[in-house]
Homo-oligomer: A and B are copies of this chain.
Amino acid sequence: MTHDTRRWEQQISQAGYRVTRQRALVLDAVCAGRGHTTLTEVAGRVRRRDRTVSRSTVYRALHMFVATGVVVQADTGDAEPYYEIARETPHHHLRCRDCGWEGEITADDLSALEETVRDRYGFVVNTDHLVLFGQCAACQSRSQS
């Protein structure tokens, strides 16, 4: 269990949503994916626990959780989007175009960029879960040889 039950219940009910059995199942299914999951995996896990839950409900619950910030969504662009439980400290992803390797970077790593954007454009960046594409260390040395 990577999420605190009290927390998300309060979070969505403050936003005017109700706490339902189906939504709990969906959130559990997101947690069950170590780190990140795809929609397909979530739907599968929910169905295994309760096959009366409709597919639409999974879609709707996931969207609602993303809208309320309980779950965070990362669009990798070339694959299915990832879902994961939002953590206290936001983080971002690295993804190698060659081998598919994935890494994480902290929000601190973005602070310089955020300052630049604020100074030059007056815009306050507030993004969670960016995905940066590029080439990992291993693939760099491999492609040099």
| Chain A interface residues (CB < 8 Å from chain B) | 73, 75, 77, 94, 96-97, 103, 105, 109-110, 112-113, 116-117, 120-127, 130, 132-137, 140
Using Cβ atoms and an 8 Å threshold, which residues of chain B touch A135? Answer: 123-124, 126
Question: By the criterion CB–CB under 8 Å, are B112 and A132 in contact?
Answer: no
Using Cβ atoms and an 8 Å threshold, which residues of chain B touch A110? Answer: 113
Using Cβ atoms and an 8 Å threshold, which residues of chain B touch A117? Answer: 94, 105, 109, 132, 134
Question: By the criterion CB–CB under 8 Å, are B94 and A123 in contact?
Answer: yes
Protomer copies: 2
Using Cβ atoms and an 8 Å threshold, which residues of chain B touch A127? Answer: 132-134
Question: By the criterion CB–CB under 8 Å, are A113 and B109 in contact?
Answer: yes
**Which of chain B's residues has its CB closest to A67's CB?**
B78
Q: Which of B75, B124, B137, B140 contacts A134 (CB 8 A)?
A: B124
Interface of A is mostly: mixed
CB distance from A73 to the nearest CB of B (A): 7
Question: Which of A97, A112, A124, A137 gathers the greatest number of chain B CB atoms within 10 Å?
Answer: A124
Question: By the criterion CB–CB under 8 Å, are B133 and A121 in contact?
Answer: no
CB distance from A84 to the nearest CB of B (A): 14
The 5 A-B residue pairs with the shortest CB-CB distance in the complex, in nearest-first order: A122-B137, A126-B134, A75-B75, A125-B134, A112-B112
**Which of chain B's residues has its CB closest to A109's CB?**
B116
CB distance from A142 to the nearest CB of B (A): 13
CA distance A117 to B108 in the complex (A): 11
